Amino acid sequence: MSAAQPLERLEVRIEGYVQGVGFRWFVAREAARLGLVGWTANEADGSLRVVVEGSADALDDMLASLHRGPSAAQIRQVTSQRLAAAGGFGTFEIRAGAHSGD
């Protein structure tokens, strides 16, 4: 029996034509498929923000999915960073643009 992987956090900003194309719902489906918790929200500058926590392998899969996005999206740039998990999430949420972060 192998030890469980420690949880990590992935914070991502996606720029391009990423709002109004179902991207947040795409992210929510991927998070559910991968067993990730956190949130996604449209930002006022037209970008999309994603904050997820889970195993390193699941975060790798999520990042690959975010680089593809839904078919209607036109992704110009994806920036991401890995951090230690904060552990404050119980589910995955789609948040309104006026979210306050964690």
Q: Considering 33, 42, 68, 95, which one is annotated as catalytic?
A: 42
Task: Print burial letters for 67-82: b (CB count within 10 Å at least 16), e (below 16).
Answer: eebbeebebeebeeee
Answer yes or no: 82 catalytic: no
Catalytic residue among 24, 29, 33, 95: 24
* Selection from 64, 65, 81 nearest residue 27 by Cα: 65
Query: Would residue 42 show up in a list of annotated catalytic residues for this protein?
Result: yes
Residues involved in catalysis: 24, 42
